[in-house]
Structure 1
Amino acid sequence: MITYYAYPKCTTCRKAKSWLEKNGVEYDEIHISENPPTKEQLAEIHKASGLELKKFFNTSGLVYRSLSLKDKLSTMSEEEQLELLASNGMLIKRPLAWDGEKAVLGFKEAEYQNTWL
């Protein structure tokens, strides 16, 4: 079962959810701004993803821009970045899908296909 962090108003999240349903992939949807993953969960997801931690940030979001994170991330420790991400789900790139072993950020149909089918 996939843990699927999404924001209901996000069109990309809705496309990913539709894909999951169309392909019969079971998931547990979590509202990312109301219940963001914890720092510990994010650390585990980050490790499994194989991606740089900066890829987890929603760089086009208002919160990211209002905090001027573009200039600050490079000087922050991984610990500080994880704490920041866990403090506000709107900072996290979405959707975030995680099955305990594999994680996918954002939605690209081919990536979902290769990961979940």
Structure 2
Amino acid sequence: MPTLFGIPNCDTVRKTRKWLESRGISHDFVDLRENTPPSSQIDAWLTTLGADRLINRRSTTYKQLDDSQRAALDGDAAVSALRQHPTLIKRPVLEWQHILLVGFSEQEYTAVFNV
């Protein structure tokens, strides 16, 4: 079953969940604020997607970081920073089988779910 990671009040997450539900695609939802993924999972996301795709540099949280904290997001400290500030993770993140998507693109989701 696909797992969608996000924040319930995020417009893009709501749009994605509505899209999945309207097509009868069951999924698990993980609230990033309440259930931050383990370091190993975030590290795998960073390895697969890269920091540029995974980190939401337009978020309010990112804008509140000082320069040294922002610089750490591109280095070895990225995993701990994303665990400490899960709202820095671009949303939603979809994990399903061998697929990992970030953000919502109707075209991508249609291709992935064959609908």
Give the TM-score, by structure 1 length: 0.83
Q: 2:52 aligns with which of 54, 57, 64?
A: 54
The code of the aligned residue for 2:28 comes to D
Pairs within 5 Å for 1:12-91: 12-47=12-47, 50-68=48-66, 72-73=70-71, 76-77=74-75, 79-91=76-88
Q: Identify the range of structure 1 (60-69 vs 2-11) with the bigger mean alpha-carbon deviation.
A: 60-69
Distance 1:92 1:32, change over 3 A: same
Distance 1:21 1:81, change over 3 A: same
Classify 1:19/1:112 alpha carbon distance in 2 versus 1 (closer, same or farther; 3 Å).
same
Q: Which runs of 5+ in 1 are unaligned?
A: none
On the 8 A contact 2:37/2:83 being kept in 1, the answer is yes
CA distance in 1, matches of 2:102, 2:42: 12
Q: 1:29 to 1:75 in 2, by over 3 A?
A: closer
**Runs of 4+ displaced beyond 6 Å:** none
* Percent identical: 27
Shift of 1:102: 0.8
Is the CA contact (8 Å cut-off) linking 1:12 and 1:95 kept in structure 2? Answer: yes
CA contact (8 A) 1:73 1:81 kept: no
TM-score, normalising length: structure 2 = 0.84
- Specify which of 97, 104, 107 is matched with residue 110 of structure 1: 107
Q: CA RMSD for the aligned pairs?
A: 2.2
Q: Residues 70 and 94 (structure 1 numbering): CA distance in 2 closer, same or farther, change over 3 Å?
A: farther
Runs (5+) with no aligned partner, structure 2: none
